[in-house]
Amino acid sequence: MYTFNRRTFLKGIVSAAALTGSKTFADTFSISADTTTEELTSTGIFTSGAEGPACDRDGNLYAVNYSRQGTIGKVTPEGDHELFIDLPGASIGNGIRFGSDGSMFIADYTQHNILRVDMDTKDISVYAHNASMSQPNDIAIMKNDILLASDPTWSRGTGAVWRIDLDGNVDKLADFTSTSNGIEVSPDDSTLYVNTSGSREIWAFDLEEDGSISNKRLVIAFNDSGADGMRCDVEGNIYITRNGNQAVDIVSPAGEILGRVATIGRNPSNIAFGGGDGMTCYITLADRGSIESFRADYPGRSWQMYQDNPLSVTAESSFRPEQITVNAAWPNPFNSTTTIQYNLASDSDIVMRVYNMAGQTVENRPLGRMGTGKHSVQWRADSLPSGIYFVSLRSNMGSATAKVTYMK
């Protein structure tokens, strides 16, 4: 087990942001120095190539190299696992993402492909191919389904980033003098994050709607170990697997260190958000061939994207957070106050959280203990700008979200 030493940890990090006067660990962030992961599966379920975790709309986890290379495994929130598909020929997957229609995209690093999987039929097709890609590694996805892939060339210690458009066309966006690895998009699709394993840096780019990038800048540099896969929560915080540090580090968009979660395995390779409320983080462990998990403060950005898109329903779903359901929001659109009606399957403590299109929280209100049956809660938006908001009602068994439009 990794032993956390705050002083050593802070000395080992150089932030690119000017953080004078800021606290290293945010007072409101519950993940603390003694937070550790729990085992979700036993060891040896995956090979040493365990990577590319991604969750479908129902919280099920998929990761590459289940039992043997060239496969995709499925793990439920309860830890049950099975083979999902075998990849064709000599293909071996790395990163996985889900599109808005529920399709699975896989970075096939041996064959220089992005594969697409129909989740209903399990048919596998080549979505994009470019022999100039060294080995597409991790992938990120925008809300409009444009994919962005990191592409390390380990033999030369260099890297690149590629854009894959909706027609499967592949274009190089940037080169790196170190091995590009983890890649993620901010909740509002305005920023692309890329980390470089060799130089232990996280870089940010301005991201346009067409997937083009500009204004490269350093977010944070580590000098104690490498960085691997990473994901954002809906607040924009970045969760980074540190495969040499036996930990997941959490960094704000400004480069502020918010927390660290110690992993049981030595080499965490990647991370994804899922479970019934999107607040469970799943970590692939290359040295143990297993999945570990911990609870986050906020849902993951990708998980919330699927909840907001009714098309993203995948097959073979084994878990649905039906403890709480939203029946209606009325009026909608509204110009001052809207009422959200919801139903509880059993008694539960309820918290209402409202956030904007950028994933920023605008209200967080505990509603207290509610009994089984129908309930309603009012939300006033008088002081906020017009726009689309999401009212999330969360119980200890799951969550449900209403999408509302405020018009002054």
Q: What single-letter amino acid sits at 230?
A: M
- Name the amino acid, one letter, at 282: Y
Candidate list 56, 108, 228, 277, residue with the active-site label: 228
| Ordered strands of the 81-86 beta sheet | 46-55, 61-66, 71-75, 81-86
H/E stretch holding 93: strand 93-98
The CA distance from 309 to 177, in Å, is: 37
**H or E segment at 294?**
strand 290-295
3-class DSSP state of 378: strand
277 given a catalytic annotation = no
Residues 6+ apart with CB under 8 A from 375: 341, 342, 343, 344, 350
What is the C-alpha to C-alpha distance for residues 242 and 221, in angstroms, rounded to an integer? Answer: 12
| End-to-end alpha carbon distance in the chain | 54
Q: How far apart are CA 239 and CA 251, in angstroms?
A: 7
Distance CA 100, CA 304 (A): 11
For 404, counting Cβ atoms within 10 Å of its Cβ (0-12 exposed, 13-18 middle, 19+ buried), the class is buried
**Strand, coil or helix: 206:** strand
Q: Give the Cα separation of 27 and 15 in Å (integer).
A: 19
Measured CA angle at 290 (ends 155, 111), to 5 deg = 35
Nearest to 302, CA basis, from 318, 267, 278: 278
Q: Count CB atoms within 10 A of the CB of residue 363.
A: 14
Close Cβ partners of 121 (under 8 Å, ≥ 6 residues apart) = none
How far CA 198 is from CA of 114, 154, 157, 182, in Å, comes to 24, 9, 7, 12
Residues labelled as active-site residues: 228
